Structure 1
Amino acid sequence: MSCHFVNDVNVNINVNVIVNVNINVIVNVNVIDNVNVIVNVIVNVIVNVNVIVNVIVNDN
């Protein structure tokens, strides 16, 4: 007969959220009454989820 005993269960959850928002506004005004507005919006979202499960089983 072999008995399985679970001694250690380790659960590590790492969540990293990186949000980068870049807003660029360029306004060009010319003499001939031309107005150019350039809006650049850059949104970067990086989500890292790491789940580490360690199960240590001893056989007796």
Structure 2
Amino acid sequence: MRTSITLAFAALLLAACSSQQLYATGRNAQRAECMKQADGAARDRCLKDAGMSHDAYQKEADAARK
């Protein structure tokens, strides 16, 4: 029963988040992972990818679907 309540609450929280908020959360997590890379060039490439704006991401995703 407690699991059901927790899952329902989590679903409500996720529904309240916009796609931009979810995107930003994922990118912040990606940046944190980038900073763990020892190789500077790889870290820079990773951070560049993590810095993509939501709009740029959306354009790429739309183009890939076509």
Q: More helix by proportion, 1 or 2?
A: 2
Q: More strand by proportion, 1 or 2?
A: 1
Q: Which has the larger radius of gyration?
A: 1
Give yes or no for TM over 0.5.
no
More contact order relative to length (CA 8 Å, sep ≥ 6): 1
TM-score by length of 2: 0.23
